[in-house]
Amino acid sequence: MKLKIVQAGDPVLREQSRPLTRKEISSPSTQLLIEMMRTTMREAPGVGLAAPQIGKSIQLAVIEDRAEYLNRLSADALAEYQRAAIPFHVIINPKLTILDKSPATFFEGCLSVEGYQAIVDRALKVRVECLNERCEEVTINAHGWHARILQHEIDHLNGKLYIDRMKTRTLTTTENMLRFWNRQTIQEVLAELGCDQKS
């Protein structure tokens, strides 16, 4: 069953989500919710989906970057993004630690800001300590695109959207990003739009 993805402006996207207890995680209702979130993320399609995006203010997100999503990218682009296939996994009650503050600067979109993208700085390397869907303690050390996805989804759990972090002059429809900016480097886009490090 596919769930409805709420869009920017819905108050649930601005709430601080509450942690889940181990009893709640193990419950049939949460296990079913995880499966429905996986289906919804894949059908969107997306690489991550946080519970607030389907109207639930709880600290739960699902992540997966499928190999088929990478087929349309060149080897050079995959290397630049530091992007590789990521198996499906669940993060619950995550604690994020930045391991490398070096900025990775790329266009980013969101299923809850449908039809738009903007350039966002994210940390290059992170560690996430969390529980998985089996209530097991997990530590995820991630870099590149995986680190970006984790930061994006954990932002959702803290009531933030990528538009809070974006370089505002780069906000574009996805259609126009593909039309005007897709063949340029990020530095070329920033220079053409007259962006400095804070805009």
* pLDDT on residue 83: 94
Within-domain flag for 41: yes
199 residues of the chain, pLDDT tens digit each: 789 999 999 999 999 999 999 999 999 999 999 999 999 999 999 999 999 999 999 999 999 999 999 998 889 889 999 999 999 999 999 999 999 988 899 999 999 999 999 999 999 999 999 999 999 999 999 999 999 999 999 999 999 999 999 999 999 999 999 999 988 999 999 999 998 655 5
Which range of residues forms the domain containing residue 67? Answer: 11-105+121-166
* pLDDT on residue 197: 55
Within-domain flag for 185: no
Determine contact, residues 133/92, Cβ cutoff 8 Å: yes
Within-domain flag for 180: no
* pLDDT on residue 101: 87
E-strand ranges in 11-169 read 48-50, 60-65, 86-109, 116-131, 137-143
The residue from 64, 108, 133, 153 that is catalytic is 153
* Buried b or exposed e, range 70-95, using 16+ CB within 10 angstroms: beeeeeeeeebebbeebeeebbbbbe
Question: How much helix, strand and coil, in percent to the nearest 5, is found in the chain?
Answer: 40, 30, 30
* pLDDT on residue 45: 95
Task: Say how far apart CA 133 and CA 89 lie, in whole Å.
Answer: 8
Determine contact, residues 158/16, Cβ cutoff 8 Å: yes
The answer to whether 114 is a known catalytic residue is no
Determine contact, residues 105/148, Cβ cutoff 8 Å: no
Q: What CATH number is attached to the domain comprising 41?
A: 3.90.45.10
Task: Say how far apart CA 169 and CA 79 lie, in whole Å.
Answer: 26
Instruction: Domain count for the chain, please give it.
Output: 1
Within-domain flag for 198: no
Kindly give the residue spans of alpha helices, DSSP state H, lying in 44-143.
Answer: 67-70, 75-81
Helices first, then strands: H and E counts in the chain: 7, 6
Determine contact, residues 36/28, Cβ cutoff 8 Å: no
